[in-house]
Structure 1
Amino acid sequence: MIKAVLIEDEPQLMETNRLMLKQNFPNIKIVGEADTVSKAINTIQEQQPQLVLLDIELADGNCFQVLNQCRPYTFKPVFITAYNHYAIKAIKFSAIDYILKPVNEFEFCNAINTAITSINEDEIKLQTFNFEQQYNNEAKSKKLLLRTADSLHLVDIKEIIFCRSDNSYTTFFLNDGQKIIVSRSIKEYEEMLSEHDFIRPHQSFLVNLSHVTKIDKTDGGFMVMKNKKEIPISSRRKQMVIDKLDSL
């Protein structure tokens, strides 16, 4: 049985979260609830849950005040947030599960399912640390957490040469020759990495422009990367590639 704590200052949403857990996850037992920072800290410390549904913004503070008082982390957080650019950006770059308000049952269940299959103390520390760094700096993220089937990789974004799509999987090719395969679509990473001068010259590829050495216009056009790999450029994206390179 997995012990869970719910932290939410909106009574209606607290009830929604409670009902969704009870209806969909009989293996999860709610051992505590809190609607303020101090109650949240006390409840987590007393109950020692494995899972915490944590609203990012509380009426009297935020999730960081809770997290800072609950180290070392032995629980998996699932963040709940209304749309917040910096929060969602930090969450995605840290591979943390989250629920967006207003709560959708399908997305709620997906987030909880993912969280309970990856309750690992070392992963939690790495994810939470990266999340705090990204959120509090409110600047360009420098690190990206990639979750594979059996591990979690903290990657310097500048070390990513390119990504290749394979249906719902994405393979990252790094500067040191390492390949990392994750079960997320390349489109998600395109949105996340666009501010780091990554572009999509072809449906199957996402490229870090800082690793491009040459644009070859023969055979329809392709990019030559620092690792000598050749990335095709689709005809309909060719002008976009040229315009982006001109703007650098």
Structure 2
Amino acid sequence: MIKAVIIDDEPAMQEVNSCLLAEYFPDIALLGTANSIETGLDLITLAKPDLVLLDIELSDGTGFQLLQKLHPYQFKVVFITGYDSFAIKAIKFSALDYIMKPVNETEFQQAIRQAVELIEKNENTESQNEVLMDSFHKDLKAKKLVLRTSASIHIVDIADIYFCMSDNSYTTFYFEGDESILVSKSLKDYETLLGEHFFYRVHQRFLVNLNHIKKVDKTDGGFIIMKNKKEIPVSLRQMKKLISLLNEL
């Protein structure tokens, strides 16, 4: 049986998550709740859980600070957050699961189900945890991105990504040569995340790394040639902005 704990400084949220766990995941044993870094540290040390539902904002600090005290840790974490956009960005870079407040039952089930799957597979997420910690430091710009597929977890250097291509709810990441990784997330999920790393959406289906553009051709409607020799179309309304961004590099 999977063992879980809930760490949240709002009693009402503890109750909501406890009830949802009991209703939708009766095979998960809830071993206790805590409301701070101090009490959470004691609970995790004592209970040795497989799964931690962790609020980002606690009464005496953040959930990230709690994890730093426990590092390295083997349990899986599902984060709970209400508003901290920076924290959400760090979580997204590491491809870990999170639940937004107020809790949506469908999103709750999806996040817990994915965590349970990782636990049952005994999948090592230590590399994801490292990316999370690196991304969270506000003075350190994230350099790596976790891409989670149905079969593997890939840790990639953001600078090595040439471009991303959308296929409805899927996104394919392309690298040097013909190397590619397909993930089941939309391109929109990555557009904002990678924007600060000189990525630009030149077309509805393409998000490109400006540092890997070799040539911009304005003929035939406009297209670019990447350093890996791939040709990518550029929409007419994005061409002017693209040229401006390239001039600023």
TM-score band by shorter chain is over 0.9
In structure 1, give the amino acid aligned to 2:53: L
Partner residue, 1:198? 199
Identity %: 52
SS in structure 1 at match of 2:73: coil
Q: CA deviation at 1:144?
A: 0.6
Matched, 1:134 2:162: no
Which deviations, in whole Å up to 9, do the C-alpha atoms of 1:152-188 show, x marking residues without a partner?
Answer: 1111111000111111111111136421111100111
Determine if contact 1:86/1:138 at 8 Å carries over to the other structure: no
In structure 2, give the amino acid aligned to 1:160: I
Change in Cα spacing, 1:244 to 1:65, as seen in structure 2 (3 Å) is: closer
SS in structure 1 at match of 2:244: helix
**Cα distance in 2, alignment partners of residues 123 and 171 from structure 1:** 23
Moved more, 63-72 or 177-186: 63-72
**Cα distance in 1, alignment partners of residues 55 and 203 from structure 2:** 38
**Cα distance in 2, alignment partners of residues 71 and 214 from structure 1:** 45
Moved more, 92-101 or 80-89: 80-89
In structure 2, give the amino acid aligned to 1:40: G
Partner residue, 1:36? 36
Which deviations, in whole Å up to 9, do the C-alpha atoms of 1:73-118 show, x marking residues without a partner?
Answer: 2210111122113211100101010112222222222211222212
Partner residue, 1:235? 236
Moved more, 73-82 or 132-141: 132-141
Gaps of 5+ in 1: none
**Cα distance in 2, alignment partners of residues 107 and 195 from structure 1:** 28
SS in structure 2 at match of 1:199: strand
In structure 1, give the amino acid aligned to 2:63: C
SS in structure 2 at match of 1:118: helix
Instruction: Give the alignment of 1:60-209 within 5 angstroms.
Output: 60-119=60-119, 123-175=124-176, 177-209=178-210
User: Normalized against structure 1, the TM-score is what?
Assistant: 0.93
**Cα distance in 2, alignment partners of residues 28 and 58 from structure 1:** 24
SS in structure 1 at match of 2:150: coil
SS in structure 1 at match of 2:201: strand
Aligned residues: 248
Determine if contact 1:75/1:121 at 8 Å carries over to the other structure: no
SS in structure 2 at match of 1:137: coil
**Cα distance in 1, alignment partners of residues 45 and 93 from structure 2:** 28
SS in structure 1 at match of 2:107: helix
Which deviations, in whole Å up to 9, do the C-alpha atoms of 1:211-240 show, x marking residues without a partner?
Answer: 001111222111000011100112232233
Determine if contact 1:95/1:147 at 8 Å carries over to the other structure: yes
Moved more, 107-116 or 197-206: 107-116
**Cα distance in 1, alignment partners of residues 212 and 164 from structure 2:** 12
In structure 1, give the amino acid aligned to 2:228: N
Moved more, 157-166 or 124-133: 124-133
Q: CA deviation at 1:121?
A: 6.0
Compute the RMSD of aligned alpha carbons: 1.7
SS in structure 2 at match of 1:241: helix
Moved more, 93-102 or 65-74: 65-74
Following TM superposition, the consecutive aligned residue runs of length 4 or more in structure 1 with deviations greater than 6 angstroms are: none
Q: CA deviation at 1:52?
A: 0.3
**Cα distance in 2, alignment partners of residues 231 and 147 from structure 1:** 25
User: Normalized against structure 2, the TM-score is what?
Assistant: 0.93
Partner residue, 2:47? 47
**Cα distance in 2, alignment partners of residues 59 and 77 from structure 1:** 19
**Cα distance in 1, alignment partners of residues 75 and 5 from structure 2:** 10
Determine if contact 1:73/1:124 at 8 Å carries over to the other structure: no
Determine if contact 1:74/1:121 at 8 Å carries over to the other structure: no
Moved more, 135-144 or 202-211: 135-144
Determine if contact 2:134/2:140 at 8 Å carries over to the other structure: no
